[in-house]
Amino acid sequence: MTIDELAAVLRVHQGPFFHGTHSRCGCRRIVLTADEWARHVAEEQRAAVVKARTITTVEQLDALPMRSIVRCARGFAWAKHSPNPRLPSAVWYDAGCEDGQYPGEVPLPATVLYNPEADQ
Ligand SMILES: [Zn+2]
């Protein structure tokens, strides 16, 4: 998830703003205390990160950069590599297994554990 995407979450959930008898988050949710508001914003950020890291389609797998690592629906880690730079398609390697698999063989949904372009 990029800094801009996280900033977009914070932009929606600014505050808390006091309205006479109660306070509201920027999303209009009523919050009783500053701690409740901070927890609400933290939960919204975590949900956005989880959503951004969830892969449900082969097309999303294909869009990840080389050297990305995902955890598949069965709990195994897979790394994206290109065994032959001249070949257009990438191959996913199951950790501990030397045989590469094509994206359609990675059990979905998967969770992105490492994206070399976003996680630095
Ligand atoms: Zn909010």
Find the 120 Cα to ligand 1 centroid distance in Å. Answer: 28
Domain identity same for 28 and 77: no
Tell whether the torsion through CA atoms of 32, 36, 41 and 44 is positive or negative. Answer: negative
96: left (phi over 0), alpha (psi -120 to 50) or beta: left
Please give the distance, rounded to the nearest whole angstrom, from the Cα atom of residue 30 to the centre of ligand 1.
Answer: 9
Q: Is residue 82 part of a domain?
A: yes
21 CA → ligand 1 middle, Å: 18
- Are residue 81 and residue 93 in the same domain, yes or no? yes
> Is 64 a member of any domain?
yes
Name the residue range of residue 24's domain.
3-54
Same domain, 26 and 66: no
pLDDT tens per residue, range 89-118: 678 888 767 677 777 788 999 999 999 988
- As a whole number of angstroms, the distance between CA 108 and CA 83 comes to 22
Count of structural domains within the chain: 2
pLDDT in the model for residue 90:
73
User: pLDDT digits over 66-83, tens only?
Assistant: 889 999 999 999 999 876
Pair 72, 108: CB distance under 8 Å: yes
Around ion ligand 1, residues with a beta carbon closer than 5 Å are 13, 25, 27, 29
Same domain? For 28 and 17 the reply is yes
Distance 26 CA to ligand 1 centre (A): 5
List of residues 6+ apart from 32 with CB closer than 8 A? 22, 23
Does the model's pTM come out above 0.75?
Answer: no
User: Domain end: 14, 34, 54, which one?
Assistant: 54
